[in-house]
Amino acid sequence: MFERFDAPEQVFTYRLGSALHMEQGSLKMLNELSAAAGDSGVKELLTQHIHETEHQVENLSRVFDLMNIDAEDNPSPTTKGLESEGESLVRKAEPPVIDDVVLAAALGAEHYEQAAYESLIITANALGRDDVAALLDENLSQERHAAEALRQKARELATR
């Protein structure tokens, strides 16, 4: 992989590998958060997004194929940070507030994922790769819907 970047394609390739690591980390985090959640609706939301995330990993693999590049699994330190913050919150939370921290942690991850896809899509479009952009956009839409569902659930629990 690259020591330094001097072309948008290289940045794209590297960040695509980070996105793969991000989604793999997200799967682990969603499973942990789902196990920690107390509310059945929260568990259901997280389980639904676990299935979507598995599909997103497949979409990323297809992007690697379409770009004719190896599926590098580059580091995503932010994902690790989000995961460790989530674990820490869960450890500290007593049952009455467990779902609040689970939803806060999940929402943080979904927002980071949206940012990652937004910039990848900009580069894919600039490279004239509408096929790649379409797959990434499918992932972005799922992240947006997941974030909105988590936000609604957090509001519902906070005001009941």
Residues 121-150 that bind Fe ion (CB under 5 A): 143
d(CA 137, CA 90): 31
Three-state SS string across 60-95, please?
Answer: HHHHHHHHCCCCCCCCCHHHHHHHHHHHHHHHHCCH
Nearer Cβ to Fe ion (123/139): 139
Give residue for tokens 């799967």.
27
Segment lying near Fe ion (by CB under 5 A), choices 5-13, 62-70, 110-118, 122-130:
110-118
**Could you tell me the smallest distance in angstroms from the CB atom of residue 106 to Fe ion?**
8
**Could you tell me the smallest distance in angstroms from the CB atom of residue 23 to Fe ion?**
7
113 near Fe ion, judged by CB under 5 A: yes
Cα distances (Å, whole numbers) of residue 121 to 41, 55, 139: 32, 18, 10
**Could you tell me the smallest distance in angstroms from the CB atom of residue 57 to Fe ion?**
11
Residues 46-65 that bind Fe ion (CB under 5 A): none
Nearer Cβ to Fe ion (83/113): 113
83 near Fe ion, judged by CB under 5 A: no
Query: Site size for Fe ion, by CB under 5 A?
Result: 2
Paired tokens of 62: 């297809």
Minimal CA–CA distance to 107: which of 153, 75, 141?
153
Helices and strands (DSSP H and E) totals, the chain: 5, 0
Residues that bind Fe ion (CB under 5 A): 113, 143
